[in-house]
Amino acid sequence: MKHVFLANICFVEIPLVESLLKSNKISFFLKKTYEGSVNAGWMIPGGSFQETMLFVDETELKNAQKLLKQYIND
C-alpha cells in the first residue's frame, strides 16, 4: 500500500482528522516535521506552527480529499 501526501494540518485538528479518516476506514499516517527538523539541528519554515504532514492511502486519496473539504466547509 502506497501513501501519498495530502495536507499539512495544525496539531489542534489532528484528533478530528484522525477520527474522520478512521471512521471512513481510510489508511493514513502522520509525520511531525517540527520534531524531526529540530532533532536534525535545523527548523523548517513554519515549524513554529507545529504542523503535521498527513499521508493517506493512494487509492483513497480522492475520498479523503472530499471528506476533508466537507469538514472544512462545515
Give the H/E segment covering residue 1. Answer: none
1-10, 21-30, 49-58, 59-68: least confidently modelled range: 49-58
CATH code (residue 31): 3.30.70
Q: Which residues span the domain enclosing 10? A: 3-73
Structure confidence at residue 10 (pLDDT): 87
* 44 pLDDT higher than 70: no
Identity of residue 73 = N
Structure confidence at residue 5 (pLDDT): 97
What is the DSSP track for 5-68? EEEEEEGGGHHHHHHHHHHTT--EEEEEHHHHHHHHT---TTGGG-EEEEEEEGGGHHHHHHHH
Number of domains observed in the structure of the chain: 1
Mean per-residue pLDDT over the chain, rounded? 86
Q: What is the mean pLDDT of residues 57-73?
A: 94
